[in-house]
Structure 1
Amino acid sequence: VPLAAIPLLIGLAWMSRAPLAKKVNEGMQESSQRTAHLFETMNGLDTVKALGAEAWSRRKWEGLTQAIAHNSLETREITSRVNYLNTAILALTGVVVVAVGALMMSFQAMSMGQLIAVGMLTGRALAPVNQIANLLVRWQQTKLSFEALNKIMAAPTDDSGTSLQAPPITGALEFRDVNFAYPNMPPVIERLNLKIRAGERVGIIGKLGSGKSTVLKLVLNQYEPTSGSVLVDDLVLTQL
């Protein structure tokens, strides 16, 4: 009897594999869309405010959140149905085992101790199979996450193809007619011309907001000049 129940439990879990995979895939896509919407909104917050798109952005966020919650409920519903059916099969198997054991006891083919032992072993043998539905959900989530990670790792780099292979750097630095301004802000740096020879130690001082940190970020290539060039060893920094 327990051996007959195992194929039923495995078959039930296998039948639920396709709808579970579909729901898990949809849930991960919706979650990715919500995360992308959050980053886009935060990065373009000034644009959203300028266009008066706060309500639209909020509605889109709420819609994606609602879709994720709905998908999660549907996934749990499928898993719960499989678990309920598994529990019913386990209970029915236990009843059949006891009934068959009682019948065999009436013919003195089995003792009470043997019947109790068979019942305990049946429960322990079938208990792991009862968790297959939950394992399928976790397996599908792990599989999709691994595939998404592989796509990211296999994606081409952002190299434009115009970058230069720099020789060993000596450290000569030059700002040539550099102008820089943050979006929708007045210029922070105007027509900066500066040469620092290799090995020189130079300190930049100034009041708060005078552009010291901006100059440092231009040197680190974290910012690009609005116009002009930053050169390292006579090579344009943005092309390295």
Structure 2
Amino acid sequence: MDKEKININVWRNFAQLIRSQGKNIVFLFIIMIGVGVLDSVFPLFSKYVIDNFIAKNTLHGLDKFILIFLSIILIQGINVFLFLVLAGKIETNISYDIRKMGFEKLQLLPLSYYDKKAVGWLMARMTSDINRISETISWGLVDFSWGIAMMLAIVIAMFNLNVKLALIALTVVPPLAITSAYFQKKILKAQREVRKINSKITAAYNEDISGAKTTKVLVREDINLEEFSLITEDMLKASIRATIISSLYIPIVLVLGSIGTALVLNAGGKNVIMGSISYGTLVAFISYTMQFFEPIRQLAIIFAEVQSAQASAERVFSLLDEKPSITDRRDVVVKYGDLFNPIKENWPEIKGEIEFRNVSFAYENGKEVLKDFNLKVKPGETIALVGETGSGKSTIVNLLCRFYESTSGKILIDGIDYKDMPQVWIHENLGYVLQTPHLFSGTIKENIKYGNLNATEEDIIRASKLANCHEFIMEMEKGYDSPVGEGGSLLSTGQKQLISFARALIRQPKILVLDEATSSIDTETEKMIQDAIEKILEGKTSFIIAHRLSTIRNANRILVIKDGKIIEEGDHETLIDRKGYYYNLYVNQFIKEKSMEMLG
């Protein structure tokens, strides 16, 4: 599609948003038609005053005229109040609807989508772009309906007053239409570029703020500033270009309007001298020609804003129209529900038997990570995954959790192909502890309860004791009501990790995944976490991606993964006796840790 053309799909989505506000839109249209018609009446009042009071030098009937005039002003005042309320309501409702749809879509999209999209890109869609759309729809409708109503009323009034002068006044409309068509392409192209660069700026802000510590450590402040300056310079140039194009369009409209007024004044003045029209009629026509181009000027502004809004809408609706790469079949949703409407009474209880049957997986770039991978896990068994970075460990657990889906083969849970169940079935029975745990702003209690919103105070304390974090929580000034700070910034890495254990435990998961959960903590905290792991793994099917091999000595089975294949398998003692890959890995790590302890 030509980038300079109107995007029909975007306008279909616009129409759907407008339909969602049906009653408010209808009332707004009616009120704005009333405002436009009443605005067109005032030059007729001027004509009446000139022809009946000034020209005749009399005040007879003035009191009745004043009463009618004040009544019209009062009605217009009420109309203005109503359209301000309605337009504000429409703007707020549309923003709410789009943000709700956007947030719902973000919940449904799989992790692979977030691999491709920067946080700043998504934030720009959900904030500034949505604001632009809602403002344009609400206030654009105000100006559009008022402008069209007023222009039609003025045209009718002018033709009723004098056909010849009306035709003269409208001679500037064709060149105005040609000018509008030309500027439409230019404005849309410029606004698209502005929105594109704005996304880059938002992304840069997000990365620099979230990576502030890394910036300080690497002394990159001047480099970051230079890189950001280049983006803002592009934004400055693009914004100036867009502003110049829009600024050229509106003065052209004003010039054409002034030409129309001059033509009417010239022809009308001659007619007044000749006595073919009254002086009041000429004054009314001059007022009408000036008024006629005011709504055109407003429509020109709307036109420019719509081009900008379309550029924003294309980005927002591209998010809303994104098709999730992982979806539940229709028959599955009917029987078992979905993420937002689960039918839990139909769900089979998970015991924890897992089987990978000839599973292959490749990322979108075509790189194959797993090929014909097979694995059987008994209920309650603890499986440790060991291997180099990029060997396929995380891919295995991500497929198990259905964050991604295999390109071929099957994954069975208790003998059921998990594609025959909704995604939420596995997620509801899953506990997942990340290498770098994410805590939400709020209290410790709120973060633990995030795993199960129905949990009681006793449940929270029980999970915390199992995770070995109850003691340090109680030592804090406010205990469980202590704030964690943004991202858990008020806690140590080990404390955050233990709280994330408690959050996973409170879900009472049937399947537990620990993704290098001890790789970034000190030895003392590791022992606390190791004790917690031993308690929480009991009776649960568990997968541990291990960085520190000391944490997996008690695993039922250790799988050594290389290039997506299992090259060694067995418990700790068996693999040590075999003196293969795992043995070398363990010995090297043991020597390294002992060396660090001696140096410490």
TM range (shorter): 0.7 to 0.9
C-alpha displacement of 1:139? 0.6
The answer to whether residue 348 in structure 2 is matched with residue 42 in structure 1 is no
Distance of aligned partners of 1:180 and 1:76 in 2 relative to their CA distance in 1, 3 Å threshold:
closer
8 Å CA contact 1:24, 1:137 repeated in 2: no
Alignment match, 1:105: 272
Structure 1, unaligned stretches of length 5 or more? 183-198
Shift of 1:156: 5.3
Counterpart for residue 540 of structure 2: 234
Change (3 A) 1:153 1:161: farther
State the shift of 1:215 in Å. Answer: 1.6
Label 1:60 to 1:114 Cα distance change in 2 as closer, same or farther (>3 A): same
**Any unmatched runs of 5+ in structure 2?**
1-167, 327-397, 403-424, 438-457, 477-490, 505-513, 520-529, 545-600
Partner of 1:190: none
Cα offset, 1:8, TM superposition: 2.4
Shift of 1:237: 8.8
Q: Deviations over 1:7-52 (max 9, x none)?
A: 3223222211111111111111111111112222233334434444
1:180 to partner: Cα distance: 6.0
Q: 1 CA distance for matches of 2:296 and 2:319?
A: 35
In the alignment, is the contact (CA less than 8 A) between 1:9 and 1:129 conserved in 2?
no
Matching residue's letter, 2:400: T
| 1:141-195 per-position Cα deviation (integer Å, ceiling 9, x unaligned) | 22222221122233355875432533876x9x8x9xx99678xxxxxxxxxxxxx
Equivalents in 2 of 1:235, 1:3: separation in Å? 80
Which secondary structure does the structure 1 equivalent of 2:195 belong to?
Answer: helix
Give the drift of 1:53: 3.0
**2:500 counterpart of 1:217:** yes
Partner residue in 1 for 2:393: none
Alignment of 1:39-188 (within 5 A): 39-155=206-322, 161-163=399-401, 165-166=425-426
Q: Percent identity?
A: 17
Which residue of the partner structure matches residue 147 of structure 2? none
Q: Which residue of 2 aligns with 1:8?
A: 175
- CA distance in 1 between counterparts of 2:301 and 2:434 reads 59
CA contact (8 A) 1:94 1:122 kept: yes
The SS at the match of 2:277 is: coil
Instruction: Look up the SS of the partner of 1:110 in the other structure.
Output: coil
Contact 1:23/1:71 (8 A) holds in 2 = yes
Q: Is the 8 A contact 1:48 1:54 kept in 2?
A: yes
Amino acid at match of 1:129: I
- Alpha carbons 2:249, 2:300 under 8 Å: kept: yes
1:133 shift after superposition: 3.2
Paired residue type of 1:101: G
Shift, 1:58, TM fit: 0.7
1:197-212 alignment, distance < 5 Å: 201-202=461-462, 203=465, 204-206=470-472, 207=475, 211-212=494-495
Question: Does the aligned pair in 1 maintain the 2:257–2:289 contact within 8 Å?
Answer: no
TM-score by length of 1: 0.73
Q: 1:117 to 1:161 in 2, by over 3 A?
A: farther
> Residues 109-135 of structure 1: CA distance to partner in whole angstroms, max 9, x if unpaired?
211111111111222222111123321
Distance in 1 between the 2:399 and 2:255 partners? 63
Counterpart for residue 17 of structure 1: 184
Structure 1 distance, partners of 2:318, 2:282, is: 55
Cα distance between partner residues in 1 of 2:271 and 2:289: 17
**Structure possessing the higher radius of gyration over alpha carbons:** 2
State the 1:213 CA deviation.
Answer: 4.1
| Matched length | 216
- Residues of 2 paired with 1:134 and 1:88: CA distance? 15
| Structure having greater relative contact order (Cα 8 Å, sep ≥ 6) | 1
Q: 1:29 to 1:233 in 2, by over 3 A?
A: farther
**Cα-Cα RMSD:** 3.6
SS across alignment from 2:471: coil
How far apart in 1 are the matches of 2:227 and 2:285? 57
TM-score (norm 2): 0.32
Kept in 1: contact 2:254–2:297 (CA 8 A): yes
